C-alpha cells in the first residue's frame, strides 16, 4: 500500500499563516527563542498592514510604518517587533469581534411593532401617505386608498397595523477567532466581490502549493493529469452578503438577488475554485461535509485514493468564514456559544476577557466560533521521493464511525469511542505499542463546552487505559483559534506538524486549571506548554466530534518516523538521492516563506487562463490527450471483475 506523505501545508487562521509554521509559532510565541519570536512578530505585522517591507529578505531588509508611508522612518526587524509586537499580540487569536465584521454592541435588526389608532381621534383608523409603487400587490382587507397625486395615495387602515421597525440590539456573543486584524485578502488579487470563504480558499491553496518548493507544472510532468485530487468544502457554504447571506436577505431588504449569490454559496465551491483557478485540475473533485469532522472526512477520501493509486497527488482542506450574526445566532440559540453573561456567571469576573472565551477542558460555558482556511499537499511515497518533495509527516489512517440511535441529533454517542480505539490500534500496528505509549499525543476536538469536556475526556482516558498509556499529552488548539467548523481538523493537523517540528506541545493557556469533572487519570493537559525532544514525538492522533454523529480520528506520523518507513521500503541509496533532491525544494520553500513574511503572497488566480476547447481534446480507445498538458490520460483497460464476467 502506498504511503500518503505530507509535502506541503498552507492557509490562515486567527494565529496567522499556516506555511512556515507561522501560525504555530504565534501559539507558542512566549517560549520561542528571540530570533524566531522576532520573525513571527515581523511577518504578522506585515500581514496585518502595520508595516510595509522595503525589499530584501526578512531579517535583512527595512520596514516602514504603513500609515506614515514614505514619511515613516526605516525600521529593522527587531525594531518592528519591539514597536508593533503588542499590537500583533492583541490583533491575533480569539478576541472581541471587530467592527469590520459587524457591531456586536448595536446589531441592526427588525423588531416587531403594532401601530394602534389614536384613541383621541375616535375613528379607529390609522392614516399615512405612501408612494403608489410601494403598495403591496394585494391590499390587506382593512386598507382603503385615496389618491393624493399621480404618485402617492392616502392609506387608511381600519384597526391595528403590524410593522417591522428598523432597530438595534446588543449581540450576546462577542468573541471569535478572527483572522489577524487588518489582513484583507480581497486586495491581494482581483477578487470580483467573491465571498470571504472563497477568498480564503484561494489564499490557503496557494500557500500550500508554494510551500512545497516545487513548481506545479513540474509535478504535472511526472503524472497523468487525472492523477490529481482536490478534497475540500465548507461546512455551511458561503454565508456572507456575496453568496447565501445576500440571497436569503435580499427580498426581505427590498433588494434583488444577484446572479452569483446561489452559485457562490454552494459548500463545494472551495473545491471548484481551487480546481478552476489554482491548479487547473482535470482530476478528482471531491467535497465531503460532516459538520465539525468535515476536514477528516475529506482527508479520509484523499488518503484512500492515494493508497490505492487512484491518484498520486492530493490537495486536502477546507475554508470556512462563519463569523456573522446569522450563524452565530443559530449556534447561540442552541446554547452552544459562550455569551458574555454566562462568562461572568461561570468565571466570576466583573470584566469579560474575550481573549479567554474559548476554554477547552476547563470550567467553560460554550464554544467560540472561528474562521480559517487550511490546506495540505499529499503525495504517494514514490512520487515524493522522485520529486524530492519536503516531508512534513504522513497519514496512515482516518477512521469514521457514527453514533447509532440517538435521542438528540446533536448529542454524543459511541462512535467516537470506536474511532479513537481504531486509531490507537492502527498506530500500534504501524509504529508499535511502545511508540504509542511513550511517543504519541492527541489533538483533541476540545470544543470548550461542558458536555465535550466530560465526554471526550472520558473517551481519551478509556482508550489510554485500554492501551496502557500513562500521562497521554492532550492538546486543544481551539483555545487559540476558536472552533472553525469545517477546517477545525486542519487547525489540529497544522498544530501536530508544528509540534513535530519544534517539540513544543501548546498548553491550554486560556484555562486556570482543568475542570474537576474532566477524566484525566491517564491524560496530561493543562495551561502550561509541554516541551519534549522532537525525537520523542512520533505519533499524533487527531480527534473530531461533529454534530449528528460525525466522529473521526486520524493517525499522523512524524517526519522522522515517516523517513524511517521510507528507508525500509526504498533503501538507503534511494533515500540519499531523495535528500539531495529535497535540498532544492526546501531552499525554494524557504525563499517563499521569506517573501510571504514580507507580504508577497500573490494568490494564484487563473481566471480565464488556459481554457480547454473541444478541439483541444483528442482520444482513442487507450488514451485521451489534452493540448497543453504534458501527459495523456490512460483510459481504463483492466477488468477488475474478471472472475464475474466473460470478458
Q: Reduce the DSSP state of residue 151 to 3 states and report it.
A: coil
Report the C-alpha gap between 596 and 97 in whole angstroms.
26
CB neighbours of 640 closer than 8 A, spacing ≥ 6?
A: none
Rounded Cα distance between 304 and 308, Å, is: 6
Question: Which SS3 state, helix, strand or coil, does residue 45 take?
Answer: helix
* Phi and psi at residue 234, to the nearest 5°: -120, 155
Give a three-class secondary structure readout of 453-474.
HHHHHHHHHHHHHHCCCCCEEE
Q: Please tell me which residue in 301, 354, 417, 445 is annotated as part of the active site.
A: 445
Say how far apart CA 601 and CA 10 lie, in whole Å: 11
Classified as helix, coil or strand, 253 is: helix
d(C-alpha 40, C-alpha 23), whole Å = 9
Catalytic (active site) residue 391: no
CA distances from 231 to 97, 375, 400, 623 (A): 30, 9, 16, 25
Place of cell 482520444: 619
The full DSSP string for 302-344 is HHHHHHTTS-SEEEEEEEE---SHHHHHHHHHTT-BPPHHHHH
Neighbours of 309 (CB within 10 A): 12
Which are the contacts of 533, defined by CB distance < 8 A and separation ≥ 6? 503
| Local structure of residue 30 (DSSP, 8 states) | G
Among candidate residues 292, 365, 519, 594, the one labeled active-site is 292
Among 301, 417, 483, 519, the active-site one is 483
C-alpha cell at 452: 465535550
Conformational region of residue 240, where left means phi above 0, alpha means psi within -120 to 50, and beta covers everything else: beta
List, by residue number, the catalytic residues. Answer: 292, 445, 483
Amino acid at each position: 500500500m502506498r504511503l500518503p506523505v505530507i509535502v506541503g501545508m498552507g492557509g490562515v487562521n486567527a494565529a496567522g499563516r499556516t506555511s512556515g509554521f507561522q501560525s504555530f509559532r504565534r501559539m507558542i510565541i512566549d517560549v520561542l527563542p528571540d530570533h524566531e519570536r522576532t520573525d513571527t512578530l515581523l511577518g504578522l505585522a506585515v500581514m496585518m498592514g502595520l508595516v510595509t517591507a522595503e525589499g530584501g529578505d526578512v531579517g535583512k531588509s527595512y520596514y516602514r510604518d504603513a500609515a506614515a508611508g514614505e514619511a515613516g522612518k526605516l525600521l529593522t526587524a527587531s525594531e518592528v517587533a519591539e514597536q508593533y509586537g503588542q499590537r500583533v499580540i492583541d490583533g491575533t487569536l480569539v478576541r472581541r469581534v471587530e467592527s469590520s465584521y459587524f457591531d456586536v454592541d448595536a446589531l441592526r435588526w427588525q423588531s416587531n411593532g403594532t401601530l394602534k389608532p389614536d384613541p383621541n381621534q375616535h375613528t379607529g383608523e390609522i392614516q399615512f401617505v405612501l408612494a403608489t409603487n410601494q403598495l403591496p400587490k394585494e391590499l390587506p382587507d382593512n386598507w382603503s386608498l385615496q389618491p393624493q397625486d399621480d404618485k402617492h395615495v392616502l392609506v387608511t387602515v381600519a384597526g391595528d397595523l403590524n410593522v417591522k421597525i428598523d432597530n438595534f440590539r446588543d449581540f450576546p456573543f462577542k468573541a471569535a477567532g478572527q483572522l489577524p486584524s487588518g489582513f484583507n485578502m480581497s486586495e491581494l488579487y482581483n477578487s470580483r466581490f467573491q465571498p470571504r470563504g472563497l477568498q480564503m480558499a484561494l489564499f490557503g491553496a496557494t500557500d500550500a502549493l508554494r510551500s512545497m518548493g516545487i513548481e506545479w507544472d513540474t509535478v504535472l510532468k511526472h503524472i497523468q493529469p487525472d492523477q490529481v485530487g482536490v478534497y475540500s468544502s465548507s461546512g455551511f457554504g458561503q454565508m456572507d452578503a456575496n453568496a447565501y447571506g445576500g440571497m436569503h436577505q435580499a427580498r426581505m431588504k427590498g433588494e434583488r438577488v444577484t446572479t452569483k449569490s446561489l452559485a457562490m454559496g454552494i459548500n463545494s465551491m472551495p473545491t471548484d475554485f481551487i480546481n478552476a483557478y489554482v491548479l487547473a485540475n482535470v482530476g478528482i473533485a471531491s467535497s465531503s461535509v460532516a459538520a465539525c469532522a468535515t476536514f477528516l472526512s475529506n482527508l479520509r477520501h484523499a488518503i484512500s485514493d492515494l493508497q490505492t493509486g487512484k491518484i498520486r497527488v492530493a490537495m486536502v482542506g477546507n475554508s470556512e468564514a462563519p463569523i456573522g450574526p446569522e450563524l452565530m445566532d443559530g449556534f447561540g440559540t442552541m446554547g452552544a456559544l459562550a455569551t458574555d453573561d454566562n462568562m461572568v456567571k461561570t468565571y466570576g469576573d466583573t470584566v469579560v476577557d474575550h481573549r479567554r472565551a474559548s476554554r477547552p477542558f476547563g470550567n467553560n460555558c460554550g464554544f467560540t466560533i472561528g474562521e480559517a482556511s487550511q490546506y495540505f499537499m499529499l503525495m504517494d511515497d514514490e512520487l515524493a521521493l522522485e520529486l524530492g518533495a519536503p516531508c512534513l509527516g504522513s497519514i496512515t489512517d482516518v477512521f469514521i464511525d457514527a453514533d447509532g440511535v440517538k435521542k438528540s441529533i446533536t448529542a454524543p454517542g459511541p462512535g467516537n469511542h470506536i474511532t479513537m480505539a481504531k486509531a490507537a490500534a492502527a498506530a500500534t500496528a504501524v509504529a508499535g505499542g511502545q511508540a504509542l505509549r511513550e511517543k504519541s499525543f492527541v489533538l483533541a476536538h476540545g470544543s470548550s463546552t461542558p458536555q465535550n469536556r466530560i465526554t471526550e475526556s472520558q473517551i481519551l482516558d478509556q482508550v489510554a487505559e485500554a492501551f496502557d498509556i500513562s500521562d497521554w499529552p492532550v492538546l486543544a488548539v481551539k483555545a487559540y483559534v476558536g472552533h472553525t467548523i469545517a477546517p477545525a481538523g486542519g487547525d489540529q493537523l497544522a498544530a501536530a506538524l508544528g509540534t513535530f517540528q519544534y517539540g513544543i506541545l501548546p498548553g491550554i493557556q486560556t484555562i486556570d486549571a482543568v475542570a474537576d469533572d474532566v477524566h484525566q487519570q491517564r491524560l496530561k493537559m493543562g495551561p502550561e506548554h509541554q516541551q519534549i525532544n522532537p525525537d520523542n514525538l512520533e505519533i499524533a492522533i487527531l480527534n473530531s466530534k461533529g454534530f449528528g454523529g460525525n466522529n473521526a480520528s486520524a493517525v499522523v506520523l512524524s517526519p522522522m518516523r515517516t523517513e524511517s518507513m521510507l528507508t525500509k521500503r526504498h533503501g538507503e541509496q534511494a533515500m540519499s538521492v531523495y535528500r539531495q533532491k529535497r535540498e532544492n525544494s526546501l531552499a525554494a520553500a524557504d525563499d517563499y516563506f521569506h517573501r510571504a513574511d514580507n507580504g508577497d503572497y500573490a494568490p494564484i488566480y487563473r481566471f480565464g487562463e488556459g481554457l480547454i476547447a473541444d478541439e483541444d481534446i483528442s482520444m482513442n480507445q487507450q488514451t485521451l490527450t489534452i493540448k497543453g498538458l504534458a501527459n495523456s490520460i490512460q483510459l481504463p483497460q483492466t477488468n477488475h471483475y474478471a472472475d464475474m464476467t466473460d470478458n
